[in-house]
Chain A
Amino acid sequence: MKKIVLTIFALSLVFSSCEFDKGFEEMNVNPGKAAQIDVANKFASVVLQTSGGRYENWRASLIYQSVMIQHFSSTAGYWSGDRYFRNDGYATSLWDRYYPSAVKEIEDIRAQLTAAGNTGSEMGMTRILRVFIYSRITDLHGDCPYSEAGQGYTNGILKPKYDAQKDIYTGTGGFLQELEEAVAQIGASTTLGASDLVFQGNTTKWKAWGNSMMLRLAMRLSKVDPATSKAWAVKAIGNGTMTSNDHIALIKHTDGPGGINKNGHGEVFDADGNPRMSKTFVDWLKDDPRLPILAARRSDKSTAIADLIGMPNGSTSATVPDTSIYAEPNRNVITKKDVPMVLQTYAEVEFMKAEAAQRGWTAGSAATHYNNGVKAAMQMLSQIYPNAAAITDAEVTAYLALKPYDATKGLQMIGEQYWAATLLNEYEAFSNWRRTGFPVLTPTNDPGNVTGGTIPRRLIWPTGEESTNADNYKAAVAAQGPNNFTTRVWWDKQ
């Protein structure tokens, strides 16, 4: 007995002197990961995340917006935007993908630059891209997490509040203020170089984009707050916006090796043969040299003008048994996986300047800006899409002679041109249509629609937020209105 007690006692002593977790701290460090990486690698990543994957480009961009806005049309039942069906997963796809990727990454970069005391070009570029990312979310859904978003790790915020869209645009730290400060801090050069997948380190182009985005977001407010809209638009124009097609903000893609490298829209067209050119759009493109570049007949790829017929939105497999007779987005030109994703163009800037002049906000000539815009919109195609035939100055002149600017219906002409110029930037096309009301679109009216036969004014929030972020979600519904497709966002005042 005594021996045993002694033995146990002795063993206990031996045990207690052991270090039982020797090497554990080193073992629990992942050998395949780093504790921190260079901002450049993160910046390149976040730019591609902003361009987006197949997932949200399929659902939010094409399945909903491109057909709602009648660039395209489709008879397939799951193309929910054509006939205003509700598909929660599709409608919330941008939100679902952007917050855990683009938003998370841009906030991480901002935190790293802030910690490093960076107040120069890199911070300025990061802030501009950050505004772009959130602008897509808020324009599509309305109120959304902004000031507290993407900070689950840095600030431990698991349930971010929804900021009012008014504050997101015009508040302290809001879009307009952010863009002004961001452009001001961009210097002559940046260390990001090749990791800047938008402008390859050209800070002059970043400044022009920052101001152009300020103009875009200022114009958004024309219905809800014309005075603020005008003030910021004038400021943006004064600060220097894009001046040529060389300034277009776009992200270049390659056909592989991974999905991340490919144009998300291109991946969709690879997998989905359903989209056709909308009759609304093809009819509008009559006498327009862009038509055979953008469209081709589905059955035989013909781009002869006579063969290019748009399919009416609202068609079903019952009303259109054979969709191959209609034109589809030209698969030889605009649907490839290695074409760039366009974020904002010089043509849009000229159209906005035309609108500002037409409204009397600036002294410029609306007609001149309109003509510049049309020319840029036509000639940018061969610059963006390698397979697009170049549209000559003569063709532009001929078109403008056929459709000269008419101030009495100036806003409509500008709005329609803007709509045509933002094909495959469906987020922008949908926003500008809601703001200007142009082009005038006839809604489809399928019995299954959830909008009372009207074109949606927004896409819904994920209803999963009801359980993961309940209080803030309820507050947002109380502030903005019911979570459906007809509630208007703040700037989309009736």
Chain B
Amino acid sequence: MTNMDNLDIVPNSTLKRNSLGLNSSQKLGDKITVDVNMKYILEDQEGNPQLSDSPGNGNFAVNLFAPTVNVNDMLGEGGLGRNADLTEFRISDNSYSQNPWFAAWNYINSSEKERFIGALNARWDIKDYLYVRGRIGGDRYDLHRTGSTPWGTAYQPNGSMNETKSSFRQYDADVFIGTDNLQLDSDITLTAFVGIGQNSQEYNATGVSGSDFIVPGLIDVKNTKNQGSSWSYWKKQINSAYGSAELGFMDYAYLTLTARNDWFSTLSLKDKKAPNNDLYTSASLSFVLSDALDLGSSVDFLKLRGGYSQVAGGADSPYALSLSYGIYGQGHLGASLGNISGGTIPNSEITPFEKNETEFGIDLRMFDNKLSIDATYYDNETLGDIVGVSASATSGYGSALANLGNISNKGIELLIKGTLMQSDDFAWNASINYTNNTSKVVATNDTGGNISMQEPRSRNLRVTHIVGEKYGALYGSSYVRDASGAIVHQMVNGIPIPKIGPRKILGFGVAPTQLGIGSSVRYKDFNASVLFEGKTGGQIYSGSNAFLIRNGHHKKTVPAGGREAGWVPTGVMEDGSAITTSIPAAQQEDYYRRTYSIAEEAIFDSDYMRLRQLSIGYNIPSDKLDGTFIDKATISLIGRNLFFLSNSVDNIDPESAYNNSNSAGLEWFGLPVPRTIGLNVNLKF
């Protein structure tokens, strides 16, 4: 049973979670075993902070104030950022520049979630070499969300609200028959099974919404002038048949062969010609060298492994294979309104995608397990991935569903752990975790066209997959530069401003290299640990910095001599001559309005190394607990995300980028990863 209360760094934002778990295992006779696991979770969230754009995101407004502005001057009536009549306490003529207190205290964005996770696992040992196993698992939740832009909001004076109830059901079931460690020969064992399985998911949501409150402050859909309702439903299922056989030789060599066929409902359509299923296989071999040969006393364990595997997958979303129409809104002057649903062009002949991977690994433990090295090399390619290929909006659609191309990934993963010192009272451990991945877009569609993903609000850049390049190029407008790399300027209204160059690759959003270094020390009942984490090799388009520069809030917009003295930008003029014109203070804004439209200005390397975690703990010695009902007690102080050792992006936390894989490398006024300091008391009875 657990209970968690979390107060966010944004005012009025809370998360409460209560959960109840139950595990039970029972033997029915000596041949049947039944395990049951259940978990029930209640989650209550209030004032979830909104991200990205203003309004609703208090962080956006706070970031754009001049540093001389005190946020506490905006508190308004009761500190809620509003006036006595419930209207927003305005901080600017621009109704979209919202009072952050108003956003935090008056907007409603809350949810209640009730979740139940259960699994039943039964095994029947028919014979001593043969068993049948059945598993069924369910994960279901009911979610109630309420959102409201209050009456009195400057940009939406009459306000609006919505209430949604949704339910999600996921079931997994499989049954298989198999054998464990069957001795086929004195040296050969067999572990094998064949089975069938099913995964089904269903979502069902109904909602009501209303705009224009009649009575201010009363949050009820009936209290709105214009009301609407919505229903959303989908269901999808995957059925599978699979088998696996592992042959063991002398307990040190193992060959594993698997085969699996999946059928996807999301790829099924009447009269479809292409398959809705795929058969995929794998083979792997592992060899415990330390058991087969005598490697000397310093080697405790050495295993080599290698394999080839395939995995297939279907379309994520159902109903994407055919065009459909819907009736929307509530009609207009007696006419009903209908149109094509969705902005993606359906494709009736979509087939499963495949990911093929070759992998080699080594697992080495030495010196009485004081040093361990786990290293893996992999090389995979994803073929026929199901994606929306971007279409020009002039086609009427934003994208077209397709099986596309070939994206390859190669890399290594390395984990080294060492015990540097150890005695009864003292231990010192250290570990290094290093991964490096090289991606490449090998092919896209027939014509090798680019695949466009997300773009930021400034719309001068798009995450794009380009053949021959790494995955996720940041493709956007650039500076025009001369042969020496100097930024070329042109005269506009008497001041030199940079020319806008063509779109080009400005970086890649996915950082290829990650490094983690950890260490822990224990002395008697005290322990301490530290973990550093970092990434390198990627880039980020920072919308926050783009905005800060445009609005003159970024440090770089203040020239060394101050703005009033005028400022001569660095670079050259179109004819190659040096820039001599000084930009007066009043026109420096025009300079930065131009650089805002050049994506390159806000591209940064997203390298960082941060102190992820530092903890200090104390185990209360058990002799001190004698006579109490407590069996064991630990107290620890844990700090997370305390500081950066290095951060190559100005002003923001590189981890506050949106981390959706389709838009990796974009950032727009996200909240920083919070610095937390916690005290943890762990008691066992």
Contacts and interface: CB of A to CB of B under 8 A. Distances in A.
Interface in A18-44: 18, 20-21, 24-25, 27-38, 40-42, 44
B226 A27 contact: no
A153 B235 contact: no
A48 B338 CA distance: 11
Contacts of B233: 30-32
Interface stretch (A154-162, A168-176, A394-402, A416-424): A154-162
Interface stretch (B33-41, B341-349, B541-549): B341-349
Nearest to A157: B395
B391 A468 contact: yes
A466 B276 CA distance: 36
B400 interface: yes
Interface in A140-198: 144-145, 149-153, 156-160, 194-195, 197
A33 B319 contact: yes
Contacts of A107: 396
Interface residues of B, number: 102
Interface stretch (B18-26, B176-184, B630-638, B656-664): B176-184
Given A25-B270, A197-B332, A464-B455, A45 B397 contact: no
Contact of B330 (A46, A99, A258): A258
A274 B94 CA distance: 9
B129 interface: yes
A218 B130 CA distance: 86
A214 to B, nearest CB: 25
Nearest to A41: B338
A443 interface: no
B562 interface: no
B277 A20 contact: yes
B228 to A, nearest CB: 6
A1 B452 contact: no
B341 A467 contact: no
A161 to B, nearest CB: 10
Contacts of A15: 194, 196, 241
B442 to A, nearest CB: 20
Interface string B305-332: 0000000000000110111111111111
B589 interface: yes
Question: Looking at A152, A255, A272, which has the most chain B CB atoms within 10 Å of its CB?
Answer: A152
Given A103-B396, A463-B460, A463-B503, A48 B495 contact: no
A330 to B, nearest CB: 19
B492 interface: yes
Given A20-B277, A33-B325, A35-B324, A100 B393 contact: yes
Interface string A457-485: 00000111111111010000000000000
Contact of A76 (B94, B264, B589): B94
B324 A28 contact: no
B539 interface: no
Interface stretch (A5-13, A278-286, A372-380, A406-414): A5-13
Interface string B455-478: 101011010100000000001010
Contacts of B228: 257-258
A452 B494 CA distance: 10
A15 B279 CA distance: 14
B232 interface: yes
Interface in A42-59: 42, 44-46, 48-49
B335 A44 contact: yes
Contacts of A463: 459-460, 477, 503
B91 interface: no
A254 interface: yes
Contacts of B239: 20-21
17 contacts: A4-B190, A20-B277, A21-B276, A37-B325, A44-B337, A96-B393, A100-B343, A101-B339, A108-B339, A194-B334, A256-B225, A257-B227, A271-B155, A271-B156, A464-B393, A468-B390, A468-B391
| Closest A-B pairs by Cβ, 5 of them | A104-B396, A41-B338, A256-B226, A152-B395, A33-B324
Interface of B: 93-95, 129-130, 155-157, 177, 179, 182, 184, 190, 192, 194, 196, 211-212, 225-228, 231-237, 239, 241, 243, 261, 263-270, 276-277, 318-319, 321-341, 343, 345-346, 389-398, 400, 450, 452, 455, 457, 459-460, 462, 464, 475, 477, 492-495, 502-503, 586-587, 589-590, 593, 597
Given A96-B393, A467-B475, 13 more contacts: A11-B194, A20-B263, A101-B339, A104-B396, A149-B395, A150-B394, A158-B389, A256-B226, A448-B587, A467-B450, A468-B391, A468-B392, A468-B393
